[in-house]
């Protein structure tokens, strides 16, 4: 095989994969090289469920919000059926607030492209032998916009680095489209202000985050080139089990099995 990625069976990269390598390399090795995948956490399941409910509401503007909420709740129940996380019930109670707020904001954009939801995109980074792929939430071609929905407990004032790298992939794949993140929080208490914050990336933002992705990918490639043996590579990295990445008991147990302590 001609490059370190393919040597380890990696045919493509993604912003989420590169973000994980940058933040917690040990978990990246455990999941991506050794195949010890972590179960989806409750926050991730919440985000997917809210997206599912919002998506049907965007494509059918006449659909009652209650039907969109029911779709989100069903998606959440399917995703978390075997998850013992004690936060499950509390997070489920928040779904109606997320869906209502996100739909109130995003229905103003009109109909998204029929083929836009979770549409696959692919870009190339200089000197990186494999492509970087991603899946957009919604494309609004009538407005020249890509919109990605994030559920959060607190509305941010800026787009963080990990989201910015993700958005840079989407924006680069779509040429001159704008890239916006819609951050939704649960239904606020009375008088608690807005429920959704929309932030847009500038061209400079896209270029800076794309450059960062390339450097992260180069770092990963150099690391993978050190050995064809995934176990040997795992022995070069020490996990930080105090990190929230290892908060799930099953993930932490798998990490202790892989790294030996």
* pLDDT at residue number 71: 98
The distance from CA 26 to its chain's CA centroid, rounded to whole angstroms, is 19
Closest to 98 (Cα-Cα) out of 157, 183, 162: 183
* CB-CB contact of 50 with 184 (8 Å): yes
Alpha carbons within 13 A on the beta-carbon side of 192: 11
Q: Determine the pLDDT at residue 193.
A: 66
How many beta carbons lie within 10 A of that of residue 138, not counting itself?
Answer: 25
pLDDT at site 20: 97
- Look at residue 86 in the predicted model and tell me its pLDDT: 87
CA 58 – CA 185 distance, rounded (Å): 18
> Pseudo-torsion of CA 242, 244, 248, 251, nearest 10°?
-70
pTM: 0.93
Query: Distance of CA 254 to CAs 27, 40, 88, 109, Å?
Result: 10, 15, 22, 44
Q: Encode the chain (261 residues) as per-residue pLDDT tens digits.
A: 469 999 999 999 999 999 999 999 999 999 999 999 877 789 999 999 999 999 999 999 999 999 999 999 999 999 998 888 888 999 999 999 999 999 999 999 999 999 878 999 999 999 999 999 999 999 999 999 999 999 999 999 999 999 999 999 999 999 889 999 999 999 765 555 679 999 999 999 999 999 999 999 999 999 999 999 999 999 999 999 999 999 888 899 999 999 999
Q: Give the model's pLDDT for residue 96.
A: 97
| pLDDT for res 249 | 86
């Amino acid at each position: 095989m001609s490059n370190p990625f393919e040597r380890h069976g990696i045919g493509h990269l993604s912003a989420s994969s590169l973000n994980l390598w940058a933040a917690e390399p040990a978990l990246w090795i455990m999941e991506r090289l050794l195949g010890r995948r972590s179960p989806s956490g409750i926050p991730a399941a919440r985000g997917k469920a809210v997206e599912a409910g919002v998506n049907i509401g965007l494509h059918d503007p006449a659909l009652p919000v209650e039907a969109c909420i029911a779709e989100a709740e069903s998606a959440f129940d399917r995703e978390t059926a075997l998850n013992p996380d004690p936060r499950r019930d509390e997070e489920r109670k928040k779904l109606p607030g997320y869906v209502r707020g996100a739909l109130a904001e995003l229905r103003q954009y009109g109909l998204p492209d029929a083929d836009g939801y979770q549409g696959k995109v692919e870009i190339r980074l200089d000197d990186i032998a494999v492509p970087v792929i991603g899946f957009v939430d919604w494309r609004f071609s009538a407005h020249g916009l890509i919109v990605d929905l994030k559920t959060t407990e607190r509305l941010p004032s800026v787009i963080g680095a990990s989201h910015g790298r993700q958005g840079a992939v989407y924006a680069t794949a779509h040429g001159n489209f704008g890239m916006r993140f819609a951050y939704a929080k649960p239904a606020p208490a009375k008088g608690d202000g807005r429920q959704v914050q929309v932030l847009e990336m500038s061209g400079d933002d896209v270029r800076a985050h794309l450059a960062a992705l390339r450097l992260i990918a180069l770092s990963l490639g150099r690391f993978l080139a050190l050995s064809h043996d995934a176990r040997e590579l795992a022995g070069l990295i020490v996990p930080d089990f105090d990190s929230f990445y290892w908060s799930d008991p099953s993930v932490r147990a798998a990490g202790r099995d892989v790294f030996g302590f």
